[in-house]
Structure 1
Amino acid sequence: MKLAVFASGSGSNFQAIAEAIQKGQLEAEIGLLFCDKKTAYVLQRAAALQIPAVTFSPKDFPSKVQYEQEILRLLEENEIELVVLAGYMRIIGATLLARFANRMINIHPSLLPAFPGIHGIQDAFEAGVAETGVTIHYVDAGVDTGPIIAQEKINITTEDTLATLTEKIHTIEHRLYPTVLQKLITTQKERAIDDEKKSLN
């Protein structure tokens, strides 16, 4: 399956997905990295991995619709089948959602619906909850509100600092994201085979 990864920052989840593909753990190809920040470190990761990358900002366009239309053009041009958000810090608009409904996945560093938004780890830590975790979900028009695909919990201990908790969350993310993506791809392949068998009967 051909993926596009959207990222805005350092790109550690992008790296984890790419490495899982290289190891044969994820039956996919990253056809495109899209980044909305021209100085983000993820672009250096893509260059090192020789993965095509495109970067531009909403500020480069008169409207969000036109920004997303250009992204959509890139996705279609590269024959992208699944969009994977990996630290992409923008809300997806109707232009992309309409074309990629149920084909756009996000990872979030909390046990949704608790602690949505861009500070999920910090918010959970400062709230003093006993556990948090990682959620993988489909993207919808809300902020981290789409249907949940998978979650993994982690306890927050009295020894944890924000830094240690962040490291633990990232460790889970880097393992869980490629695993869940592979399950989704396998399921889709099985459905395609079943559909083909039905059409022959």
Structure 2
Amino acid sequence: MLKIAVLISGGGSNLKALLDAADDPDFPARIVCVGSDTDASGLDHARAAGVPVFIERPRDAATREEWGERLAAAIRQHGVDGSDDSLVVSAGLMRILPAGFVRAFSPRLINTHPALLPAFPGAHAVRDALAAGATRTGVTVHVIDEGVDTGPVLRQEAVDVRPGESEEDLHERMKQLERPLLVRTVRDIALGELELPGAG
């Protein structure tokens, strides 16, 4: 059984999708903890499901690397340590993870991103796609490396941009794709049907 730690910063819609999937006894993974860099509203999804939560605020650490070390220690307390039976999922964590944290867990450290990487990396991917006049964009699940949205792509799903569509409407349609894509990706990693580049 794959043990998962989920990291969030906001409402936790991807977290909720994973929690709902894990309710099925046949789902091959369990969420063992949920962490955040702030008192995120999405932590309530974990609390409602009886999953332990923790908050590690960057401002409580002297440096970014120290914050990463504290985050890693909190995750390891729940048995998620970067080994083959564990996975860290960044599901809306709105911070770049420190290099030391990435080295500790990657490639068993994945992220969702609202673009078809390598196009439109960074924090404003949907806005950037619209500003560039893109007619097609999508969502990506990728391994986190030490760059910004530069890790190996695991899965992608595309969506056509509608004429005159707002950033908010497009992002909402993309989230409808993102949630099941993340669930399928985690399931396939757990079953060994999707290999993580560099694992083992």
Take 1:142 and 1:124, find their aligned partners in 2: how far apart are those partners? Answer: 20
Equivalent runs, 1:37-186 vs 2, <5 Å: 37-38=38-39, 40-80=40-80, 81-158=86-163, 160-186=165-191
For structure 1, list consecutive stretches of 5 or more residues without a partner in the other structure: 196-201
Structure 2, unaligned runs of 5 or more: 81-85
| Change in CA separation of 1:142 and 1:25 when aligned onto 2, cut-off 3 Å | farther
Cα distance in 2 between the residues matched to 1:159 and 1:21: 38
Does the C-alpha gap of structure 1 residues 77 and 89 become closer, same or farther in structure 2, counting only changes over 3 Å? same
Does the Cα contact within 8 Å between 1:31 and 1:51 map onto a contact in 2?
yes
- Is contact 1:26-1:179 (8 Å) kept? no
Letter of the aligned partner of 2:55 in structure 1? Answer: T
Counterpart CA distance in 2 for 1:29 and 1:188 is 17
Give the TM-score of the pair, scaled to structure 2. 0.89
- Structure 2 counterpart of 1:19: 20
Distance 1:25 1:91 in 2: 33
Q: Over residues 41-68 of structure 1, what are the superposed CA-to-partner deviations in whole Å (9 max), with x where a residue is unaligned?
A: 1122222222111012110011122211
In structure 2, what residue type is equivalent to 1:88? Answer: L
Displacement of 1:74: 1.6
Matched-pair contact (CA < 8 Å) for 1:26–1:178: no
For 1:100 and 1:188, locate their aligned partners in 2 and report how far apart those are by CA, in whole Å: 20
Q: Work out the CA distance in 1 between the residues paired with 2:162 and 2:72.
A: 43
Partner of 1:28: 29
In the alignment, the residues of structure 1 paired with residue 4 and residue 30 of structure 2 have an alpha-carbon distance, to the nearest angstrom, of 6
Q: What is the CA distance between 1:189 and its match in structure 2?
A: 9.9
Confirm or deny: 8 A CA contact 1:26 1:181 kept in the other structure. no
| RMSD after superposition | 1.9
Aligned length: 190
When structure 1 is superposed on structure 2, of 96-105 and 169-178 the one drifting more is 96-105
How far off is 1:35 after superposition? 0.3
Q: Secondary structure at the match of 1:154?
A: strand
For 1:107 and 1:54, the matched residues in 2 are separated by 21
Query: 177-186 or 62-71: which moved more?
Result: 62-71
After TM superposition, the score normalised by the length of structure 1 is 0.88
